[in-house]
Amino acid sequence: MPKFAANLSMMFNEWDFLDRFKAAADNGFTAVEFLFPYAHAPDEIARRLQDSGLTQALFNLPPGDWDKGERGMASVAGRETEFRASVETALPYAKATGVKRLHVMSGHGDRHDPRAVEAYKTALRHACAVTAPLGIDILIEPINGRDMPGYFLNDFPFAAALISELALPNLKLQFDIYHRQILHGDVMKGLDALLPITGHVQVASIPKRNEPGTGELDDVRIFRHLDQLGYDGYVGCEYRPAGHTVEGLGWFRNA
């Protein structure tokens, strides 16, 4: 079975955020991810990781004004300065936590709009240039329009073609099994084709985004397929527990 990272933005919400690190470790996780750490000081996040013996697998760059519906700025022409500032905001957290993967949310936009595409490429070039000396990969993730209407990066082939075109050594794909199934299906075939450019995998059941093993896919078979393909990274558990987080961890204990 792969190595799993608990997503602390979705799991263990029965605890305050800073207490979720210990809760994850107490329940057998050795790594965590989350959306954003920016409500807390970098040293505080680092201390929680160290005290719990956890590895930070992933987090996102600042997305703009989340409460107003913004989901990133990278593809939004005219917000280049804000995007560059968001990279600088993330760096102290990356250094404090030792994370090796940062996800850049694209923001809303039309991927057929040349201005949006060029803004996105420029943003990714900048993020990769800044983080490469730190040994950090920049990840891009196609997200389905049902969960995030109007999101710019909503297609796996487009993401793969972009990674190929830019040819940046630290630009990788974030392969979310949930989004892949909704967007295109063919999860196993997609993993076969795209694993060489994949820097991180995430999982949730389809269609309700609950625990693995509760939806339409055979998640255990997918996990075994990742093993067969030689994937040695983390699988982020970006799912919403159907009930209490700990009560829903049977899939993890039996993995």
* Residues tagged active-site: 141, 238
**Cα torsion at 16, 19, 25, 30 (round to 10°)?**
80
Do the beta carbons of residue 194 and residue 226 sit within 8 Å?
Answer: no
Query: In this structure, what are the phi and psi dihedrals at residue 199, rounded to the nearest 5 degrees?
Result: -105, -15
CA distance 205 to 113: 32
Name, in order, each residue with C-beta under 8 angstroms of 194's C-beta and a sequence gap of 6 or more. Answer: 156, 160, 173, 175
Please give the angle made by the CA atoms of 215, 217 and 223, to the nearest 5 degrees: 115
DSSP 26-56: HTT-SEEE-S--TTS-HHHHHHHHHHHT-EE
Separation of alpha carbons 223 and 65, rounded Å:
35
- Residue identified by tokens 């991180």 is 200
Rounded CA-CA distance 67/69 in Å is 5
Place of tokens 């063919």: 186
**Nearest Cα to 196, choosing from 171, 224, 165?**
171
- CA–CA gap between residue 147 and residue 119 (Å, rounded): 23
